[in-house]
Structure 1
């Protein structure tokens, strides 16, 4: 059973208490049993709200409603509290360019969410004799983060691990770049649009060429017709004219 956080009514141990009325008016110091009787007459409770005062301070209120309001305040206060998490990002001294870009994007996402990021360089085998390689990777990450982050713990060797802690810079506007996959999809979509435009242009050019060919054929037919008509007329004239009379 959960014990009440406040003493109420006959559970108040002090012989005298300073009483505050339900309207927040000071009623003064009085014996506890009299204060309890006043609260009972009003259908309310006498609640000890400051037991460390001399004498203890009590208030005449509805205790059920008082507990509800207290719980509500705690819930609202808890909502306003920001829980900062530390998320770990593991790296290698020889992390390639693509993997490093992916991990930097993840760190930016951590910072944008208000969290801190612990960057861990894990050394294997004889890599441990070249700590400068790990420092170089961390420098690249810091350069990529730019003004988005502040270093809370500078690179520190712990066994075979080099750790560095970064936090979001207060007031910084952190933008997480799109992933490489989304960029590739955008490039493919753009290429597809370009190919579609090229096909449309080719079809338009073919139609234009066909129209020009049809026009040329029409012109040729008309010219041939004119030539044929001229030849026929000349032949008809030769047949219609009488033959020349030979001289006597």
Structure 2
């Protein structure tokens, strides 16, 4: 804005069209109109307009605020189990997953292998398959089970 523009020439966009002017002359025109010279985009030469600086800043802030309101962050909840989980504990995990899925959260279901349990990764896959069957009526899409270190996990989306 105004003196912060470093280039020697600017492309001034006005009602009459575009013209390339020295920065000093464009700044002088803005001062005569009682407005500010604002750099709109970086190019060679930079594109500038003569506008009210306060109003321009307000419009930019308003657009940023509107775009933040339109964004929707999706939170992921995680449920952890081991392959030695008991049936009652398994049902409790399913109930919490159903609660998360009905609220619209993504659910990451993980099976953790301890010690030599990693050699029985098929048991972990079966456990995840059983889990997915129990909540299948709430799940639109699911990923394939992935093994990351000692964790086998799957992502369920409502």
Please tell me the TM-score bracket, short chain as reference.
Answer: 0.7 to 0.9
Does the aligned pair in 2 maintain the 1:46–1:59 contact within 8 Å? yes
What's the counterpart of residue 134 of structure 2?
144
Tell me, which stretches of 5 or more residues in structure 1 are unaligned?
1-7, 169-173, 175-248
Q: Per the alignment, do residues 32 and 94 of structure 1 end up closer, same or farther by CA in structure 2, a change over 3 Å counting?
A: same
User: In proportion to residue count, which structure has more helix?
Assistant: 1
User: In proportion to residue count, which structure has more strand?
Assistant: 2
Q: Per the alignment, do residues 29 and 157 of structure 1 end up closer, same or farther by CA in structure 2, a change over 3 Å counting?
A: closer
* Bigger relative CO (Cα 8 Å, ≥ 6 apart): 2
What's the counterpart of residue 156 of structure 2?
167
Residue number among 64, 69, 79 corresponding to 1:89 in the alignment: 79
Residue number among 37, 45, 48 corresponding to 2:28 in the alignment: 37
1:37 alignment partner, SS class: helix
What's the counterpart of residue 73 of structure 1?
63
How many residues end up aligned between the 2 structures? 157
1:146 alignment partner, SS class: coil
- 1:58 is displaced (CA, Å) by 0.2
RMSD: 2.6
Please say if 1:13 is aligned against 2:1: no
2:83 alignment partner, SS class: coil
TM-score calculated relative to the size of structure 2:
0.80
Question: Which stretch has the larger CA shift, 133-142 or 98-107?
Answer: 98-107
Answer with 1 or 2: which has the greater Rg.
1
Does the aligned pair in 2 maintain the 1:115–1:167 contact within 8 Å? no
Q: Please list the CA deviations of residues 6-58 of structure 1 after superposition, one character each: whole Å capped at 9, or x if unmatched.
A: xx12232222212123xx55252222222112211221100111122x32110
- Which aligned segments of 4 or more residues in structure 1 are displaced greater than 4 angstroms? 124-129
Equivalences for residues 93-242 of structure 1 within 5 A: 93-124=83-114, 127-146=117-136, 148-156=139-147, 158-159=149-150, 161=151, 163-168=152-157, 174=158
2:143 alignment partner, SS class: strand
Does the aligned pair in 1 maintain the 2:125–2:145 contact within 8 Å? no
Tell me, which stretches of 5 or more residues in structure 2 are unaligned?
none
TM-score calculated relative to the size of structure 1:
0.54
Does the aligned pair in 2 maintain the 1:111–1:149 contact within 8 Å? no
